[in-house]
Structure 1
Amino acid sequence: MISQLAPLVEAQLPGAVALRHRLHADPRVSGQEEDTAAAVCEAIGLPGEPVAGTGRLLRLGPATGPAVVLRAELDGLPVPEQTGLAYASTSGVMHACGHDAHCAALAAVARAVAEVALPHGVLVLLQPREEAAPTGAGDVVADPAFARHDVRAVIAAHVQPVLPRGVVSAAPGAVNASCDELVIAVRGRGGHAAYPHRCDDPVLALCQTVAALHHLVSRRVDPLDSAVLTVGRLDAGTASNVIPSVARAHGTLRALDAETRRVLLAAVRDVVVHTAASYGCEGTVAAVSNEPVLRNDPGLSGLVAPLLVELGLHADTRFRSCGSDDFAHYGAVAPSVMLFVGVDDGSPGAPGLHDARFAPPDEVVGELAKAYLAGLVAALGTLPE
């Protein structure tokens, strides 16, 4: 099947690149992706069925029976673009995570697949809200429109600037981390900055808390495990001569193992409570779990790798990342594989994901399409004849 579909996909790439330019120039933020979904459906040639609000489902092949899902994300980010591309967005919203290329590649594969007789269904999933919590994958899984299909496997592809061009990772097991968003509040007794001895300073307590938190991974986690804790935002005070009564920190906790995640969440609470108390303050933590660990099905991953090689790509089976993706939710429904497609061309200081300068070349659309195709053929091969 792969030899039959590969040239058909190749023939669709010029149109896919044009679609990529169209999507990139006019992106939408999470929850407002109707126009993006409509553009991709138009390019595929099917109207699609709504799912999870602004998402779409398009079924190819047999209308009933087992189906393999191919997923791409619709949303952009609230990032003012700085790429200098002729088709750059000027709206203050940008496809800074490659979702425009993912959708374009998936459209190419869908159009190619529509030209052949399929043994089983192929369900194209244009998923909303990957970039903003609450993310869309959980809502897709819970939507009756999705549940009506007999989903037997789910495949996704994502650009990855950590990997070189021409390399696609099909690693088995945990490949992306769980994600917990942390909001830390330290409450004290505010007052005049000239009289700190008459206050319980939450700013000082919070600063010491943040410093202590950044030691947790190195001292509470096995060095052979992977985890990261980052505090990215601090909020406190309204004036330089006022000690406020509350200070807040916002951070993220990532882990590739559920037990490591549990240990670190408990340790975060201990550090916040006891460090704040040592400065006469009260510390609290609110943790919002966004995504579970993303685990690639080992059997399906093993089937994809040789097909990638057959399509002229280099297959990697070791790549792991403490990034997170709501694609993790599909693993609870069926065997799933996230394929990471390398876009690093070796340029020093090249921008990464979510950077205002991030702009993979158009040739990456073809490499993403090959990754989708390898995943699809591997998954179809696991279904009963």
Structure 2
Amino acid sequence: MSSDTTLTALAAQLELELDGAVELRHQLHANPGLSGDEAATRELVLAALPGRHAATEVAGTGAVVRVGGDGPAIAVRGELDALAVHEETGVPWESRHPGMMHACGHDVHLAALVALARAVDRIGGPAPLLAVLQPREETYPSGAQDVTEDGILDREQCRAAVGAHVQPLLAAGTVACTPGGVNASADEFTVTVRGNGGHAAYPHLTRDPVVTLAHVVVALQSLVSRETDPMSSVVLSVTTLAAGTAANVVPGTAEARGTLRAMRTADREFLHQRLVETAEGVAQAYGCAADVRITRGEPVLDNDATLTAATQPLLASLGLKVATDLRSAGADDFSYFSARMPALMLFVGTHGGTEQLHSPTFLPPDERVRDVAHALLAGYVAAAEQFIPRP
């Protein structure tokens, strides 16, 4: 069966699954679970998947379910966790748990994944589908890192991975399918400057860590503007400063925290080194010392070029407008999948710039379940065609 024929048959079956998927979306949205506390969410999703397929627990509160038989498979990911956001949508199915909300569209992603898995189960697909119900996308330690390091994807013979994420910056009906780096690596850093405190009236008897840290912050801003290629996207942001307890006391320490994001792994590693060297060098020049701690987060999310090219025409055949240039300095731990195997992250339009992710009013219309399901379908069929040999 050709990929076009398979796509058409599965798309027709998807239409029959959408009512149930939308109802599941409402259930998930009304009953969110925060990162690390997604067991109830997982059970809701498992109950909606084809019942004869056994689930394998992974990453604590996650699970994988194989649909479509034995042999090499395609992994399709859905995220289980919600955010610590108090919902302000007012819909009948809004969150029943104050201070928790699916404000990033994970309820839509999960419902779409279930619809696709049910369609594959009912009529078959070009390859087995491994539904990956991943916990802790929103926090550290990363659920995707745990899933990929568990070895479950190797044991299930996964040859490629597909994910989709709603994106309010894109208009409804548009799906971004962009080759190469589409999300940045994301690391956090803390710079602690240690000096000698004392009375503010006698600054010459101190080594002021506050003034020193101010110079460190300014120097760090030059790393991007003067030491990296302007054609390569890098963002270094200092976001918190803390020092002192009284107006007339020079403190002994001052601390800055921030984030470093890069679209190329080489830039990421280079700036890790230069961040440490710069902070230590500036501090020494002012008679202080600097300690730098870098917490590594997600790597660059890199879409496989072959898979991207194969998916684009399938998206178009499903009636979706294809964008090929969306990239973001945001991060998604699906990048751990892309670091291990050919992978594709698709961005599915919802609003066209009128709303923002993680907002208390963010609520993609139910129609977006269909768009996300179609995006996942296109990626799944293309991945099977490209990476699983035909008998």
- TM-score interval (norm. to shorter): over 0.9
Residue of structure 2 in register with 1:361 after alignment? 365
In the aligned structure 2, how far is the partner of 1:368 from the partner of 1:59? 20
Please, which runs of 5 or more residues in structure 2 have no aligned partner?
Answer: 1-5
In the aligned structure 2, how far is the partner of 1:117 from the partner of 1:288? 44
Tell me if the contact between 1:78 and 1:92 (Cα under 8 Å) persists in the aligned partners: yes
Offset, 1:23: 1.5
Q: Deviations over 1:233-284 (max 9, x none)?
A: 2222333443322221221111111221122222212221122223322112
State the one-letter code of the partner of 2:121: A
1:226-241 → structure 2 map (5 Å cutoff): 226-241=233-248
Give SS of 1:129's match. Answer: coil
Residue of structure 2 in register with 1:308 after alignment? 315
State the one-letter code of the partner of 1:198: L
1:76 aligns to 2:55 (yes or no): no
Tell me if the contact between 1:256 and 1:293 (Cα under 8 Å) persists in the aligned partners: yes
Residue of structure 2 in register with 1:25 after alignment? 30
Residue of structure 2 in register with 1:51 after alignment? 58
1:198 aligns to 2:205 (yes or no): yes
In the aligned structure 1, how far is the partner of 2:132 from the partner of 2:110? 10
Tell me if the contact between 2:10 and 2:119 (Cα under 8 Å) persists in the aligned partners: yes
1:15 aligns to 2:20 (yes or no): yes
Offset, 1:333: 3.2
Distance 1:88 1:216, change over 3 A: farther
Tell me if the contact between 1:230 and 1:253 (Cα under 8 Å) persists in the aligned partners: yes
Distance 1:48 1:342, change over 3 A: same
Give SS of 1:290's match. Answer: coil
State the one-letter code of the partner of 1:147: D
| Corresponding residue to 2:338 among 311, 331, 337 | 331
Quick check: 305-314 or 194-203, which moved more? 194-203
Offset, 1:171: 0.9
| Corresponding residue to 2:190 among 173, 179, 183 | 183
Offset, 1:346: 4.7
Residue of structure 2 in register with 1:212 after alignment? 219
State the one-letter code of the partner of 2:83: L
Give aligned-pair identity as a percent.
49
Tell me if the contact between 1:151 and 1:333 (Cα under 8 Å) persists in the aligned partners: no
Offset, 1:119: 4.4
TM (norm. structure 2) is 0.92
| Corresponding residue to 2:327 among 320, 326, 337 | 320
Residue of structure 2 in register with 1:149 after alignment? 156
Quick check: 368-377 or 213-222, which moved more? 213-222
Offset, 1:129: 1.2
Residue of structure 1 in register with 2:181 after alignment? 174
Quick check: 364-373 or 43-52, which moved more? 43-52
1:117 aligns to 2:124 (yes or no): yes
Quick check: 353-362 or 118-127, which moved more? 353-362
TM (norm. structure 1) is 0.93
In the aligned structure 2, how far is the partner of 1:359 from the partner of 1:280? 53
Give SS of 1:32's match. Answer: coil
Alignment RMSD = 1.8
Quick check: 137-146 or 171-180, which moved more? 137-146
In the aligned structure 1, how far is the partner of 2:146 from the partner of 2:255? 30
Give SS of 1:56's match. Answer: strand
Distance 1:96 1:244, change over 3 A: farther
Give SS of 2:381's match. Answer: helix
Tell me if the contact between 2:175 and 2:375 (Cα under 8 Å) persists in the aligned partners: yes
Tell me if the contact between 1:13 and 1:366 (Cα under 8 Å) persists in the aligned partners: yes
Offset, 1:100: 1.3
Quick check: 367-376 or 144-153, which moved more? 144-153
Please, which runs of 5 or more residues in structure 1 have no aligned partner?
Answer: none
1:87 aligns to 2:93 (yes or no): yes
Tell me if the contact between 2:191 and 2:256 (Cα under 8 Å) persists in the aligned partners: yes
Tell me if the contact between 2:168 and 2:353 (Cα under 8 Å) persists in the aligned partners: no
In the aligned structure 1, how far is the partner of 2:200 from the partner of 2:363? 47
Q: Deviations over 1:125-150 (max 9, x none)?
A: 00111111120112111224433111
In the aligned structure 2, how far is the partner of 1:381 from the partner of 1:110? 17
In the aligned structure 1, how far is the partner of 2:218 from the partner of 2:167? 31
Quick check: 43-52 or 29-38, which moved more? 43-52
Q: Deviations over 1:92-134 (max 9, x none)?
A: 1222221111111111111111111334211000011111112
In the aligned structure 2, how far is the partner of 1:94 from the partner of 1:345? 22
Q: Deviations over 1:318-359 (max 9, x none)?
A: 111111121112124321111111223353xx3x22233322
Quick check: 133-142 or 239-248, which moved more? 239-248
Residue of structure 2 in register with 1:381 after alignment? 385
Give SS of 2:315's match. Answer: helix
State the one-letter code of the partner of 1:354: H
Distance 1:204 1:374, change over 3 A: same
Distance 1:258 1:313, change over 3 A: same
Tell me if the contact between 1:236 and 1:247 (Cα under 8 Å) persists in the aligned partners: yes
In the aligned structure 1, how far is the partner of 2:359 from the partner of 2:239? 16
Give SS of 1:163's match. Answer: coil
Distance 1:21 1:240, change over 3 A: farther
Residue of structure 1 in register with 2:3 after alignment? none
Tell me if the contact between 1:188 and 1:199 (Cα under 8 Å) persists in the aligned partners: yes
In the aligned structure 2, how far is the partner of 1:77 from the partner of 1:202? 36
Tell me if the contact between 1:51 and 1:146 (Cα under 8 Å) persists in the aligned partners: no
In the aligned structure 1, how far is the partner of 2:87 from the partner of 2:195? 41
In the aligned structure 2, how far is the partner of 1:213 from the partner of 1:188? 19
Residue of structure 2 in register with 1:37 after alignment? 42
